[in-house]
Amino acid sequence: MGQIAHKQGGLRAKHVPQRTCIACRRTDAKRGLIRLVRTPEGRIEVDTTGKRNGRGAYLCHDPACWDAAIKRRALERSLRVEPLTPENQRDLLAYSRGLTAAEAHGADTNTAEELPHAVRV
């Protein structure tokens, strides 16, 4: 005479994964932040799908967070990479400014045509 488990309370709320911005430490839904991933080849790339293989870190859409992450070397610590070259830093800052420009024009921030997605280490 086994026990039968009954659902109580009706529908459950869908689980929303939470992630933390490495610069400002603000917690938000996974889809609300931008994921940067270190690939097995050692490159840093923006992961628009959130599913790519490799070590990941998350940043807000705020350019100030991108500036802080680069200035305080939070990106290098989180992704466990060698220090970024000036060219890499420039590419990341250009990407963050592209986010600002795309949002100001009401464009989708995930379109590949407007924003560079690969930053090499």
Q: What are the helix and strand counts (H, E) for the chain?
A: 3, 6
**Of residues 84 and 108, which shows the higher confidence score?**
84
Q: How far apart are CA 40 and CA 121, in angstroms?
A: 12
- Which domains are assigned to the chain? 18-105 (3.30.1230.10)
Looking at residue 20, what DSSP letter applies? E
**For residue 59, what are the β-bridge partners?**
34
Residues in the chain: 121
Work out the end-to-end distance of the chain between its first and last CA atoms, rounded to an integer number of angstroms: 62
Give this prediction's pTM: 0.73
Q: Report helix, strand and coil shares of the chain as percent, to nearest 5.
A: 30, 20, 50
Predicted confidence (pLDDT) per residue in 17-61, tens digit: 999 999 999 999 999 999 999 877 767 788 888 889 889 999 999
Q: How far apart are CA 14 and CA 16, in angstroms?
A: 6
